[in-house]
Each structure stands twice: as structure tokens, then as C-alpha cells.
Structure 1
Amino acid sequence: MSWFLFAISTAFLESVRDIFNKKTVDKVDEYVITFSLNLLTALFSLPLFLFNDIPGLANNFWYAVIAIGILNTIAFLLFFKAIKASDLSIVAPITTLSPLLLLITSPFLVGEFPNAVGILGIFIIVIGAYVLKFQDKSRGYLAPFKSLFKETGSRLMFGVVLVWSLTANIDKIGVQNSSPIMWAIAGHLSVAIFTFPILLFKSKPNIKNIKSNSGNLIVIGFLNALAILSQMTALQMALVSFVIAVKRTSALFNVLWGWLIFKEQDIKERIAGSIIMILGVVVITLSKLV
């Protein structure tokens, strides 16, 4: 079960990273933090080549790098806008919807259709999303769903998981045409490159705040690099679907941090909703073995 320890470590590290994300994004902005996170993650990951060979790069690698740079720039900017706009304990569980969207997009992209167990997993995730805003049920049975979609951060995070449902396929192409470590470094560096001109155009007033927040930005990049190392180690020991399912428990950690650190309210419903949504992810994962 060593793979489980590395996978759960990935979830924990990402959740701690998001604490610093939440605290820092208000002091700089989403453009600065997207650029610095991706650049520092790539730099902190470079020493991994001391223990691994630099792979040859196939032709499709560069197409994948460009595609992942564009799409993940969008995803990161939406992600930071989401955690800036709404409670961490509301927006973080929505990341568990990415397996659900993969089941929806896979039939169109790769011709894979969900089986009965996968459909059950989708149903469970929808129930969990309902429970997240269960306190609004007094305004009508559909009010929790309506409330979730009215939340600015939630709407932005739905955009994030939509992009992730596309980038998951690009990640596969990138790894197949290089190596997991090379792809992790190149992918983050590509996002930093695509974000840089946007940063110069949109964030000139906030660039001066980088120095005063450099400690937090370095911690964010370092934690993200550690999470990637932990995830890559887990992927070498277990099925990708198992590792990603455990990784999604970061949503539950984030709900707890939202309560303990940011004093967010309605925590019981959010914990219950997160647990149900994670259960749905596990069911979808198991559906791939049926």
C-alpha cells in the first residue's frame, strides 16, 4: 500500500498549497500567482533529472506542450479567481467533478462510454453536489443546485473542471511522447511562458507586490513540486485511476482548512457533500475495472 501513502500525500500537499493560494491571491492577483507557481514548480522539479534520464521527445510532444500551455493557463486563472471569489470549502469539492466530465467527454474524444457502475458514480457525485448547499433546501428542492450555480466561485470552478476534462487527454499524449517528469516540467514551464505576457499587460500594479509576498509564492511552488513528485511516485506503483481517485480527497482536506483556518460556515453540509462526491469518484474509478 505504499502507493496509497504517496497518493494521499499528494492530496494533503495540494490542500496545504491551496491554503497559501487562498491567502496570497488577495495580496497579489491570479496572474502573478499563476506565473510564479508554474515557473517555480518547473524550477524545483529540475533536480529530478539527476535521478532520471532525459528522454527523447517525439514529434507530438511540442504540439501537446503548446496545447497544455494555453488550456492550463485558462484553468489556473479560473482556479485562482474561484478561490478568491468564494469559500475554499465550497469551490474545492467541485474539483471532484472532473471524473464525471471525463465520462461525458470520453465518448466524443476517445469513443469510451460509461457502464452502469460509472453512471452510478455520476449519480452519487450529483447527490454530493446537492448536499454541499443543502442548507438552501428551504427555498425549494432545486434551490441547492441553483445556489451552487449562482456562486461566482462555483461557476468559475465548473470552468476549471471542464478544461481539465480536455487536458487529461493532452497529458496522456505528453507523457507518451516524453516521460512523466519531463512532461510535468515542460507543462508547467509552458503555462509560465503563456502567462507572462498576460501578467505584464494585466498586473503591472501588482508586480511590485511580488517581493513582499515572495515567501508565500516560493512555498506554493515548492509544495506543488513535492505534490508532483509524490504523485509520479504513486503512479509508478498503482493504476492511474486509483491514484487520481485518492488525490481527489484533497477536496475534503480543503473543506477542513476552510473551517479551521478561514472560519467558513455551514461546514457540516460541506464535509458531508465532499465525502459523498469523493465516494462517487471512487465508484467511477472501480467502474473502469468492471
Structure 2
Amino acid sequence: MLWILLATITAFAEATRNVVIKGKLSTLPAQFVSWVWVTVTLLFLLPTLWFLPPVTLQPNLWGYWLASVLINTLAILLFTLAIQMSDLSLTMPMIAFSPLFMLLTSPLMLGEFPSLIGVVGVVLVVIGSYLLNIQERSNGYLAPYRALLREPGPRLMLGVAVLWSISANLDKLGVQASSPVVWIILVNMGLSLAFVPLMLRQTRQLRQMRVASGMVVALLAIGMLDALALITQMYALTLTLVAYVISVKRAGIIISVVLGAVLFKEPGFRERLTGTLVMLAGVLCIAFA
């Protein structure tokens, strides 16, 4: 079960990266943080090409690549904005919806069909998201959902979950048409270029920006952590179904929720952790359906 180990490493690396973005980089423009994120990741990944055997690139690779770059440019920007704008313990659980959306995208794109137990998983994810704001229940049955969607971070992260439910399938197709490392290097090259015009639209903010030495270390750290997460995720995708890998990877949400409460003193920890655990139970049902 090597894929479980690889997906778990991915989860820990991504959770740590999210904490760094929230704790050290929340005051910087999201376009700049996103560009540095993918560019530093690329720089850490490039040396690995030296150790790879020759790879044959399939003709259909470039269509998958273009689609992945376009989708992930928007997803990463929304992801960074969501973390900067709202509590980690409220924002990160929204990513648990991505395996739910993959019940639709994976059959359409890959022909991978989970069994009926996936329906149980869907119900648990919905219940868990309700519990995230259960303290609002006194204001009406739908108040927890309304309270959740009033926050900009959870709204943005729900959009990220939709986008990543598509791009995760593109990742598998791209890896099959190349190799795990070559695919993530190509995608990060495209992302690095795609964020340049977005940054240029923030010229005034960038001129006024002050980057402390601690921020420089943080920017390097998110790139290094993302490189580790990407390599382990792409290799895991070659060993099992996409939904399985993404579901184990989403266990990192628990880490983000706990660290958000401990490091940033975010409120409502008990309700948010309970909701997160229920959502992850649903994710596991979907994964192993």
C-alpha cells in the first residue's frame, strides 16, 4: 500500500504549506504569493530531471497540459485568497467537497466508477459541512450553510474544490502521457508564466510591498513543501484510483484545522473539528466505494 504512504506525505506537506501562507504571507498580494509559490516549486523540481530516464511524450499530452494550466491558475489564486481572507479551520474543510464532485468528473473523464457506498459518503460530507457552523442553528435550519457562505474564504474554497475535482483527473491523464515528474514540471512552468500578467495588473501594490526576511523564508518554504507534495501525489496517482489518492490527501484538512486553532486562536474549534471529521468520514466512504 505504498500509495497510502505517498498520499499521507502529500497531506502533511500541504497542511504545513497552508499554515505558512496564513501565518506569514497573508499581507502580500495573492497574485504575487501564487506566482512565487509555483515558481519556487518549479525551481525545486527542475534538478530531478537529471536523474530521470528518457521519457516519451505522447501527442495528447499538450491538450491535458493546457487545460490543467488554465484550471490551476484560477484554482491556486482562489486558494491563496481564501486562506488569506478567512480562518483555516473554516476554509480548509471546503476542500473535502472535491472527492464529492469527483463522483461526477471521474466517471466522465476517466471512466472510474465507485460503488453505491459513495452515496453514503456524499451525505456525510453534506452533514459535516452543516456542523462547521452548527452554532448558527438557532437562526434557522439553513442558517449554518448561510453563515458558512457569508464568509468569503469558504465560498472561494468551494470553487477551488470544483476546479480541483477536474484537474486531479487531468493530472492522471497527463502522468500517463508523460511521467509524474515531467508532468508536474511542465504544469508548473505553465503556471509560472500564466501568473506573470496577473501580477503585472498589481503593479502599484507590488511597488508598495515590503517583504521582510521572514517572508522570504516563508516563500521559499511553500515552494519546497509544494514540490514534495506534488511528487508524492503524482507517484501515488500511478498506483491507484484518483479518488483514493485525493481522499487520503484530504486528511491534511484535519491538520490545518487543528493548527489554525492552536496557532491562530481561531474560534469554534470543537464544532469545526467535529464537522471536519464527519466530512472526512464521507470522503473515505467515497474513496473506498
**TM-score, normalised via structure 1 length:** 0.91
Instruction: Give the structure 2 partner of residue 86 of structure 1.
Output: 86
CA shift at 1:268, angstroms?
Answer: 0.4
Deviation at 1:210, TM superposition (A): 4.8
Match of 2:287 among 272, 285, 288: 285
1:239 offset after TM fit, Å?
4.9
- For residues 66-105 of structure 1, the C-alpha deviation after alignment (integer angstroms, 9 at most, x for no partner) is 2211111100111111111110101101101001111134
Q: Please give the secondary structure, in 2, of the residue aligned with 1:64.
A: helix
- C-alpha separation between the residues in 1 aligned to 2:240 and 2:66? 29
CA contact (8 A) 1:56 1:178 kept: yes
Could you tell me which runs of 5 or more consecutive residues in structure 1 were left unpaired when the two chains were aligned.
none
- Name the counterpart of 1:76: 76
In structure 1, C-alpha distance between the alignment counterparts of 2:242 and 2:65, rounded to whole Å: 21
Q: By how many angstroms is 1:113 displaced?
A: 5.9
- Does the 8 A contact of 1:83 with 1:91 survive in 2? yes
CA–CA separation in structure 2 for the residues paired with 1:99 and 1:282: 9
Tell me how far apart the structure 2 counterparts of residues 48 and 263 of structure 1 sit (CA, whole Å). 39
Aligned to 1:33: 33
SS at match of 1:225: helix
Is residue 227 of structure 2 the alignment partner of residue 225 of structure 1?
yes
CA 174–210 in structure 1, closer or farther in 2 if over 3 Å, else same? farther
- Which residue matches 1:124? 124
CA distance in 2, matches of 1:44, 1:168: 22
Measured in 2, the distance between the counterparts of 1:215 and 1:139 equals: 44
Secondary structure at the residue paired with 1:261? helix
Distance 2:28 2:54 in 1: 35
Q: Percent identity?
A: 39
Partner of 1:270: 272
Q: Does 2:53 correspond to 1:53?
A: yes
Taking the aligned partners of 2:53 and 2:78, their CA distance within structure 1 comes to 35
In structure 1, the residue corresponding to 2:264 is in which secondary structure? Answer: coil
Please give the per-residue CA displacement for 1:83-142, whole angstroms capped at 9, x wherever unaligned: 111101011011010011111344555566664211111011101101111111111121
Change (3 A) 1:57 1:279: same
What is the root-mean-square deviation of aligned Cα atoms in Å?
Answer: 2.1
* 8 Å Cα contact 1:82/1:154 also seen in 2: yes
CA distance in 2, matches of 1:105, 1:269: 30
SS of 2:210 mapped into structure 1: coil
| Equivalence for 2:177 | 177
170-179 or 271-280, which deviates more: 170-179
The one-letter code sitting in structure 2 at the alignment partner of 1:135 is Q
Residue correspondence of structure 1 range 1-290 to structure 2 within 5 A:
1-106=1-106, 109=109, 115-206=115-206, 208-210=209-211, 212=213, 213-235=215-237, 239-287=241-289
Determine if contact 1:136/1:143 at 8 Å carries over to the other structure: yes
Sort the Cα spacing of 1:211 and 1:85 in 2 relative to 1 into closer, same or farther, 3 A. closer
Q: Indicate conservation of the 8 Å contact 1:17/1:223, yes or no.
A: yes
Q: 1:83/1:40 Cα in 2 relative to 1: closer, same or farther (>3 Å)?
A: same
Counterparts of 1:246 and 1:170, CA distance in 2: 18
The Cα offsets for residues 201-233 of structure 1, whole Å up to 9 and x where unpaired, read as: 224432553574321100110111122233345
Tell whether the 8 Å contact from 1:68 to 1:190 is kept in structure 2 after alignment.
no
SS of corresponding position for 1:56:
coil
Per-residue displacement from partner, 1:231-280 (whole Å, max 9, x unpaired)?
Answer: 34544555544332211111000000110111001000111111111111
Instruction: Verify the 8 A CA contact 1:25 1:80 in the aligned structure 2.
Output: no
Residues in 2 aligned to 1:265 and 1:16: alpha-carbon distance in whole angstroms: 20
For residue 266 of structure 2, give the secondary structure of its aligned residue in structure 1.
coil
Instruction: Find the aligned partners of 2:58 and 2:4 in 1 and give their Cα distance.
Output: 32
How far off is 1:197 after superposition?
A: 1.2
Cα separation, 2, equivalents of 1:86 and 1:225: 25
1:25, CA displacement in angstroms?
A: 3.4
Alpha-carbon separation, structure 1, partners of 2:104 and 2:74: 21
Looking at structure 1, the residues matched to 112 and 235 of structure 2 have their Cα atoms a distance apart, in angstroms, of 27
Name the amino acid aligned to 2:45.
Answer: S
